[in-house]
Amino acid sequence: MAVDYFKYLRKEKMPHIWCAGCGHGMIVKSIIRAIDKLGWKNNEIALVSGIGCSSRTPGYLDFHTLHTTHGRALAFATGIKLARPNLKVIVVGGDGDMMAIGGNHFIHACRRNIDIKLVVYNNNIYGMTGGQASPTTLTDAKATTAPYGFLEEPFDVCNMAIASGASFVGRALDLDVPLMDRVILESFKHKGFSVVDAWSQCPTYFGRFNRWGNPSEMMEKYKQITYNIRQKDQLSEEEKKGKYPVGILHQIERPEFCEKYEKLIENLKTKEEAE
Amino acid sequence: MEEKKNIRFLSGNEACGEGAIVAGCRFFGGYPISPSSEIAEFMSKRLPLAGGKFIQMEDEISSIAAVLGASLAGVKSMTATSGPGFSLMQENIGFGAMAEIPAVIVDVMRGGPSTGNPTGPSQSDVMAIRWGSHGDYPAIALCPESVNEVFLLTIEAFNIAEFLRTPVVLAMDEITAHMREKVEILGEEDVKIIKRKKPEKHPYLPYEYGEDLIPPLPGYGEGFRFHVTGLNHDKTGFPTNKSELMEEGNRRIMDKVEVNKEKIIKHEEFFTDDCEILVVAFGSSARAAKRAVRTAREKGIKAGLFRPLTLYPLSEKALRSIARKAKKVIVPEMNLGQYILIVERVIGQGIPIVGINQVDGEPITPSRILSKIEE
Amino acid sequence: MSQRYEIRLAGSGGQGLILGGIIFSEAAAIYDRKFATQTQSYGPESRGGASKSEVVISDEEVDYPKATNPDVVLLFTEAAKEKYLPMCRKDAIIIADSDLVKSEIPSEYSKVVKVPLTRIAKESVGREFVANIVALGLIRELTNIVSEESLEKALLTRIPKGTEEMNKKALKLGKEAAKKYGVHLLKA
C-alpha cells in the first residue's frame, strides 16, 4: 500500500535544503513510513531537533515542531514529554548535536528512560557549518578541522546508548531501506527511550574530502564497515573487527519515566484522600 | 477576618515556591545550586501533590530547555538558579525571547564572577539579566525586598510571562532567599492570575499579532500545529532571510514590551514627596536604604527612596520626575556599579549620581547609606 | 522609631543556631503577632564552620532585617566570641557557653551571663544537641521579648516528631538556668 507522504510533509516547504546525494531525506521517509504504519495522527506528534542539517527535519514535517538550540533537543523534548505525556515525542539530531554538544543530555535521556524516540542522522561530519570533524568522524578521515586526518577515536553511538541505559538501541544504513524501516518502526513501538543510529552519507564534505566517491560508492563503503547483528555468531572475531553491527542491537523492558511520575502523582493523591 | 488569613513564617525561597504553585506553575526543571536550591527542593515535594511535574535535569542548560519545552506543551513552567547556572542558561533564555515562550527564571544572585561566593548576598547579576544572552531581546526582571513580596512577585512574574509571551526573571539575592519573615499565602481566588492568550480559529499563524504585538500561543497537542525556531522567522514561524521580515521580528519582540510597559512596571516611593537626597535601591539593599532614610528624616534631612520592583522595564518617568527635585542621587548595590548605569541614563546629567558598592559577601548596612546621605 | 529588638546567635555549624533563630522569631511573628525577621550567614560547611543567625523583632514591620546593634548576643564558640564580642555594645546581654568560651569577658560588659548550656543539655536531657533550645529558654526568660507559650508552640512545630518532651524539657532547663546564672539581670 502506497504511503501518502504529503499527509505528513509540509508541501509548501519543499524542496528541502539537503544536498543531492545526502541520505537525510531517506531517513525522513523511513520515519514517515513508521508513523503511517503505526497510525499516529499529526496532531499527537511533537518533533524536536537541535541545530545542523538533520535538525531542519521539523520544518518539513506537519507536526508540532520545534527547532531548538544546538545540542539541546533532548532537553526541550524532555520538558514536552513530561508536561504532556500523551504526545508522541520524536527527536532528530546529527552526530555533532547528539554526541558532542548534546552528549550530556544524550546520556541522561538514556539513563532516565523517558519515552522519547531519538533518531541520530549520523554522517560523521558537521555538514551545515562546512565539513568540520565530529565525534563520529572516523580515525584518520579528513575534515576542514582535521586537514591531516582525524587523530581521535570516534564514538559508537549505539555503545554509548547501551552503556547509558537506553532501553532500545538500533542501527541502520540509509542504503538498506528495509532494515532502516524496521529499526525505526520497532524503536517507535518501544516504550522507553530509544536510539536509532541512522547512517547517512555526506557526499558534499565527507565524501569529497576523503575521496569516497559518489553517493552510491559512499554507501558501499559504509556497508563494508558494517555487519548484520543476526550474523554475529556466524562471523569470526577477525571478520567483525573494526566493524559496526546493524539491526536491533538492544531492547529491554525498563520502567518508563513519565509513567513512574504519573504513578507517583496517583499514589500521593490516594494517600492524601486516605488521610 | 484576621483569623482567616493564612499567615506563615517562611524563607524567601519557600515563599517563591508557594507563589509559583498559586500562580499555576505545574512544571519545574532545575539543577541544584546555592543559594537557590531550596526552591527546587520545595517544588520537588509540592508539584506532584498539585498534579504537576518536577525534574532535576543534568545541568542548567537542560533545565531551562526543559522548562521552555514544557511551556510550549501548554504548562506554566519555572526554573531557579544562581549566577553560574544563570550564565549557562543564557543561550536558551535568548531562545525563549526569540521564539516567544513564557517562562519564569528565578535567579538568586550570589557573588561572582565565576564560582564567587555561593553563600553570601550579591546583586551582581543585574547586567547579566539585562544583556546576558546574545542579540537584542527584551529583559523583564522583578526584584522583591521581602518574603511577602517574593510570594507576590513570583505570581506577577508568571502573569507577565504569560501576558507578554516571553521569559521573565525573578531576581532575588541570598538575603531575600534565605531570610524568614511573615508572609500571607493567598489563594488562587484572591490574586489575579493571567493565562496566555490562545488562538480562536484556524488557520493559526504562531507569530501573527494584533495591536498589542503579542501573538496568541496554543500548547502542543491542542490542535494547532505550528513550527517554532530560534532562527529569524516570519508570521508563519518558519525561518526567513528577508531583511524586512527579520527587522520587523527583531523589533517587535522589543516593542511588545515597550507598548505594554505601563501594565507591568512597578515601583515604590518612600518619603519622596519633598526629597532632596534620593536613594535608588532594590532588593535587600532597599531595606537598608529604608532604615537609612528613616534615620535621616529623624535628623531633619530630606531623604527619600525610589525602589524599582521591575528592574526591567524601569518606571522611568516616575524616577525622572522625582529625581528632578533632588540634589543628589545615591545608588547602593551589592556589585561594583551596574544598575547605576541605568539610573544615570534615565536621570541624565545635572545632578551628582553616586554609587555605594560592596562585594564582600555582606549586605550594605543602613549606616553606610546614611553616611552617604549625610555627606 | 519602632522598638527594634535584635538578637545574634553565633557559633558553629551543627549547633542548631539557625533553627534556634527560626523558632524564636516565629514565636514572635506568628504566635505573638509581632513582626520579626530571621537571617543567617554561614560558610560552605554544613558542620563545623562559622555560623550566625540573627533575629530582629519589632512591633512594626522590620526594615533592615539584619542585626545592627544587638540587644542580646549568644556566643557558642571561642571563635564567635573573638569575632562578635568587640562589636557588642557594653550594655548588651551577652550569653556565653561557659564550657565553650573559656577566655575572659572584660568587665566593661555589664550584662554577662556565663552558663554551661551544652553541659546542661548533655547532663540533664542526655542530648548535647538541644543546647540551642536551652539557650532559647534562657534568652526568653532574660528578655521576655516573646511569651513562654508562643515559644513553646513555635518550638513544637519545628522539631522532629518524638522529640517533643526532650525539647520541652530543654526549654524549661533554659528558664531555670536564667534564674540560676542570670539572676543579676532578672527584674523583680
- β pairing state of B267-270 and B310-312: unpaired
Rounded to the nearest integer, the mean pLDDT of chain C is 94
DSSP string, B163-228: HHTSEEEEEEEHHHHH-EEEEE---GGGS---------SSS--TT---TT-----PPTTSS---EE
Q: Identify whether the C-beta of residue B339 lies closer than 8 Å to the C-beta of residue B126.
A: yes
Give residue B160's identity as a one-letter amino acid code: I
Nearest to B74 by CA among A80, A20, C146, A73: A80
- Cα–Cα distance measured from residue A216 to residue A220, given in angstroms and rounded to the nearest whole number: 6
Q: Identify whether the C-beta of residue A67 lies closer than 8 Å to the C-beta of residue B230.
A: yes
Q: Is B298 on the interface with C (CB under 8 A)?
A: yes
Find chain B residues with C-beta within 8 A of A62's C-beta: 225
By C-alpha distance, the chain B residue nearest A81 is B70
Find chain B residues with C-beta within 8 A of A83's C-beta: 26-27, 53, 69-71, 73-75, 77
Average pLDDT of B76-95?
98
Find chain C residues with C-beta within 8 A of B298's C-beta: 1
Q: Do chains A and C touch (3 or more CB pairs under 8 A)?
A: no
Angle in degrees, CA B244, B245, B248, rounded to 5: 85
The upper half-sphere exposure of residue A51, i.e. CA atoms within 13 Å in the direction of its Cβ, equals 15
CATH class for the region spanning C4-118+144-159: alpha beta
- Cα–Cα distance measured from residue B110 to residue B87, given in angstroms and rounded to the nearest whole number: 12
Find chain C residues with C-beta within 8 A of B178's C-beta: 39-40
pLDDT > 90? residue A275:
no
pLDDT in tens, A15-48: 999 999 999 999 999 999 999 999 999 999 999 9
The end-to-end CA distance of chain B, in Å, is 47
B286: confidence class by pLDDT, cuts 50, 70, 90: very high
| B80, three cell numbers | 531557579
Residue ranges per domain, chain B? 2-190, 266-374
Contact B55 A80 (CB under 8 A): no
C1: confidence class by pLDDT, cuts 50, 70, 90: very low
By C-alpha distance, the chain B residue nearest A102 is B62
Find chain B residues with C-beta within 8 A of C44's C-beta: 118-119
Q: At what angle do helices A257-274 and B37-49 cross, to 10 degrees?
A: 70
Neighbours of chain B (3+ CB pairs under 8 A): A, C
Average pLDDT of A185-204?
98
- What's CA A189's distance to the chain center, in Å? 15
Helix H or strand E segment including B332: strand B328-333
Q: Identify whether the C-beta of residue C149 lies closer than 8 Å to the C-beta of residue C100.
A: no
Find chain B residues with C-beta within 8 A of A272's C-beta: 49
Place of cell 526594615: C63
Contact C65 B119 (CB under 8 A): no
B1: confidence class by pLDDT, cuts 50, 70, 90: very low
Find chain B residues with C-beta within 8 A of C64's C-beta: 287-288, 290-291, 365-366
Q: Is A49 on the interface with B (CB under 8 A)?
A: no
The Cα of A261 is separated from the nearest Cα of chain B by a number of Å equal to: 8
Average pLDDT of B64-86?
98
B7-11 sheet: strands from edge to edge: B7-11, B180-184, C35-42, C50-58, C4-12, C72-75, C93-97, C111-115
Residue to mutate among A49, A68, A271, with most B CBs inside 10 A, is: A68
pLDDT in tens, A235-247: 999 999 999 999 9
Q: Verify cis geometry, omega within 30 degrees of 0, for the bond prior to B113.
A: yes
**Per-residue model confidence (pLDDT) at position B3:** 59
The CATH-assigned architecture of domain B266-374 is 3-Layer(aba) Sandwich (3.40)
The Cα of C68 is separated from the nearest Cα of chain B by a number of Å equal to: 8
Q: What's the per-residue H, E or C state across chain A?
A: CCCCHHHCECHHHCCCCCCCCCCHHHHHHHHHHHHHHHCCCHHHEEEEECCCCHHHHHHHECCEEEECCCCCHHHHHHHHHHHCCCCEEEEEEEHHHHHHHCHHHHHHHHHHCCCEEEEEEECCCECCCCCECCCCCCCCCCECCECCCCCCCCCCHHHHHHHHCCCEEEEEECCCHHHHHHHHHHHHHCCCCEEEEEECCCHHHHHHHCCCCCHHHHHHHHHHCEEEHHHCCCCCHHHHCCCEEEEEEEECCCCCHHHHHHHHHHHHHHHHHHC
Contact A64 B226 (CB under 8 A): yes
By C-alpha distance, the chain B residue nearest A269 is B49
Neighbours of chain C (3+ CB pairs under 8 A): B
pLDDT in tens, A61-70: 999 999 999 9
pLDDT in tens, C81-133: 999 999 999 999 999 999 999 999 999 999 999 999 999 999 999 999 999 99
Specify the DSSP class assigned to residue B363: P
Distances (CA, A) of B311 to A12, A204, C155: 44, 50, 39
Q: Is B268 on the interface with C (CB under 8 A)?
A: no
Three-state DSSP class for residue C114: strand
Nearest to A254 by CA among A157, A188, A165: A165
Neighbours of chain A (3+ CB pairs under 8 A): B
ipTM score for this prediction: 0.97
The Cα of A260 is separated from the nearest Cα of chain B by a number of Å equal to: 11
**Among the partner residues B49, B59, B220, nearest to A87 by beta-carbon distance:** B220
Three-state DSSP class for residue B335: coil
**Per-residue model confidence (pLDDT) at position C187:** 67
Three-state DSSP class for residue C151: helix
| Stated length of chain C | 188
Place of cell 538501541: A169
> Do the first three CATH levels of B2-190 and B266-374 match, i.e. the same topology?
yes
Residues of B with CB under 8 A from a CB of A: 26-27, 29, 48-49, 51, 53, 55, 57-59, 61-63, 65-75, 77, 91-92, 95, 219-221, 223, 225-231, 238-239
**Among the partner residues B7, B291, B298, nearest to C63 by beta-carbon distance:** B291
Q: Give contacts of B 324-363 with C, CB under 8 A.
A: 362-363
**Among the partner residues A59, A80, A268, nearest to B220 by beta-carbon distance:** A80
CB burial of B106-137 (b: ≥16 within 10 Å; e: otherwise) equals bbbbbbbeeebbbbbbbbbbbebbbebbeeeb
Helix H or strand E segment including C175: helix C164-181
Find chain B residues with C-beta within 8 A of C53's C-beta: none
Q: Where are the alpha helices (DSSP H) in chain B?
A: 12-23, 37-49, 60-72, 83-99, 126-131, 147-164, 174-178, 243-259, 261-264, 284-298, 316-323, 339-347, 366-374
pLDDT in tens, B191-223: 999 999 999 999 999 999 999 999 999 999 999
Q: Is C83 on the interface with B (CB under 8 A)?
A: no
**Per-residue model confidence (pLDDT) at position A1:** 65
Contact B8 C64 (CB under 8 A): no
DSSP string, B19-46: HHHHHT--EEEE---TTTHHHHHHHHHH
Average pLDDT of A145-163?
97
- Domains present along chain A, CATH in parentheses: 8-274 (3.40.50.970)
**Per-residue model confidence (pLDDT) at position C186:** 85
Q: Identify whether the C-beta of residue A120 lies closer than 8 Å to the C-beta of residue A31.
A: no
Three-state DSSP class for residue C110: coil
The CATH-assigned architecture of domain B2-190 is 3-Layer(aba) Sandwich (3.40)
Mean pLDDT is lowest, of C140-144, C171-175, C184-188, for C184-188
Tally C-beta pairs within 8 A across A and B: 130
The upper half-sphere exposure of residue B208, i.e. CA atoms within 13 Å in the direction of its Cβ, equals 11
**Residues contacting residue B198 through CB under 8 Å, at least 6 positions apart:** B216, B217, B218, B222
Helix H or strand E segment including C88: none
| Stated length of chain A | 275
Q: Is C157 on the interface with B (CB under 8 A)?
A: no
Contact C38 B119 (CB under 8 A): no
The Cα of C156 is separated from the nearest Cα of chain B by a number of Å equal to: 14
Place of cell 541544584: B32
By C-alpha distance, the chain B residue nearest C51 is B119
The Cα of B119 is separated from the nearest Cα of chain C by a number of Å equal to: 7
**Per-residue model confidence (pLDDT) at position C2:** 54
C47: confidence class by pLDDT, cuts 50, 70, 90: confident
Contact C26 B288 (CB under 8 A): no
Contact C44 B180 (CB under 8 A): no
Say how many C-beta atoms besides its own lie within 10 A of residue B1's C-beta. 4
Beta bridge partner(s), residue A122: A199
Contact C66 B363 (CB under 8 A): yes
**Among the partner residues B287, B294, B365, nearest to C1 by beta-carbon distance:** B294
| C183, three cell numbers | 539572676
Average pLDDT of B157-163?
98
Find chain B residues with C-beta within 8 A of A268's C-beta: 48-49
The Cα of B166 is separated from the nearest Cα of chain A by a number of Å equal to: 16
